A and B are shown apart, each in its own frame.
Chain A
Amino acid sequence: MAVLFALSATGAVAQVTVKDPWVRGTVAQQKATGMFAHIIAAGGGKLVAGSSPVAGVVEIHEMAMQGDVMKMRAIPGGLELPAGKAVELKPGGYHVMLMELKQQLKEGETVPVTLVVEGKDGKRENVEVKAAVKALATPAAPMQGHKH
């Protein structure tokens, strides 16, 4: 678990906490994957952008089912982070999309990702996250009722 606070020169910060960040592992040649986490902005704000040395492009995406069709989109204007409320980025909902991957992401490694959060005052702050790479075959949610 990684808990990291944003550094800012001013007092008016969104005070962002990122918990349990993880990235779905990839196989060689695979060029995209998703990062998931719980994000809490004590002062409220928006997750507007991201970057990572392992990805050429990072976007904030939402997955939604329309009928039986899966649609995935960059969220226009960013992901709203209500003050003090944990926003869950998880399979079946929001994720940070890492595209144009420069390398294979292997289980057990960590991937640095910088998240950009815009506070209510419009000031942006960078949140450095170290996301754990989990197996490509990680289920969407922990299976219930049995042990491995």
Chain B
Amino acid sequence: MSGAGPVVPSPQRGRRLWLAAAAVAVLAACSPQDSGSRAGASKFHGIDVTGADYGTDFRLADPQGRERTLADFRGKVVLLFFGFTQCPDVCPTALSRAVEVMRLLGDDGTKVQVLFATLDPERDTAELMQAYTTTFHPGFIGLRADLERTRETAKHFKVFFAKVPTGSSYTMDHTAMTYAFDPQGRLRLAIRHSATAPEMAHDLGLLLAGR
């Protein structure tokens, strides 16, 4: 093809610009002061991980003992958070935020499925998971597996967790990222703990609109 001179943006140049924009988005996402003030480098507040080769699916039991996978939630935006119920701070904060996100979405809130997967299956029994998650919202589902599958699942989602002894008991360090899947069940966003409910509602609104 002729005429592809310097005045026409080459694919390479376009790609460089895109990469620069992505770099800005990543930097902005790393800054704690940036909430809500970003100038449109990405349409999402969360980290866009579309096409990631991790976090493609899971197979975990709900409190009734049924094995669940992403296919069960087609047509809904799925929010998946890994944590543990003995957690005084991050986990209830993330789940309360999810309740608020659903409220902000109005009627579309019914198209959001929140899943809370435990990283502490030794203490988080099915009964406890059921009581804990439904206290936040009757539609939330607690998921668990044995320790081995919990480890495999966490690894597949790049979720770090470790038991930390304290007193005569233990607490857990863990990745506090919320993952968002689109209605087709594709992993799309990794949402930081610092994200606000309005930011998340904005992002989920886009996913529900097929973007």
Given that A29-B131, A30-B132, A65-B176 are contacting pairs, would A73 and B164 also be in contact in the complex, using a CB cutoff of 8 Å? yes
A70 touches B166 (CB 8 A): no
Is B89 part of the contact surface with A, judged by Cβ < 8 Å? yes
B128 touches A30 (CB 8 A): yes
Is A34 part of the contact surface with B, judged by Cβ < 8 Å? yes
Q: Report, as a range, how many residues of chain A touch the other chain.
A: 35 or more
Is A9 part of the contact surface with B, judged by Cβ < 8 Å? no
In the complex, the chain B residue whose C-beta lies closest to that of A67 is B175
Q: Find chain B residues with CB under 8 A from A137 CB.
A: 92, 95-96, 99, 135-136
Contact of B171 among A30, A68, A72 (CB under 8 A): A72
Q: Find chain B residues with CB under 8 A from A70 CB.
A: 89-90, 173-176, 193
How far, in whole Å, are A72 and B197 apart by their CA atoms in the complex? Answer: 23
In the complex, the chain A residue whose C-beta lies closest to that of B134 is A27
A139 touches B100 (CB 8 A): yes
Q: Find chain A residues with CB under 8 A from B171 CB.
A: 32, 61, 72, 97
Is A28 part of the contact surface with B, judged by Cβ < 8 Å? yes
Is A74 part of the contact surface with B, judged by Cβ < 8 Å? yes
A95 touches B166 (CB 8 A): no
B92 touches A136 (CB 8 A): yes
Which residues of chain B (95-131) have a CB below 8 Å from chain A? 95-97, 99-100, 123, 125, 127-128, 131
How far, in whole Å, are A100 and B100 apart by their CA atoms in the complex? Answer: 30
A57 touches B169 (CB 8 A): yes
Q: What residues of chain B have their CB less than 8 Å away from a CB belonging to chain A?
A: 85-90, 92-93, 95-97, 99-100, 123, 125, 127-128, 131-132, 135-136, 160, 164, 166-169, 171-177, 192-194, 197
Q: What residues of chain A have their CB less than 8 Å away from a CB belonging to chain B?
A: 24, 27-34, 56-57, 59, 61, 63, 65, 68-74, 91-92, 95, 97, 99-100, 135-140, 143
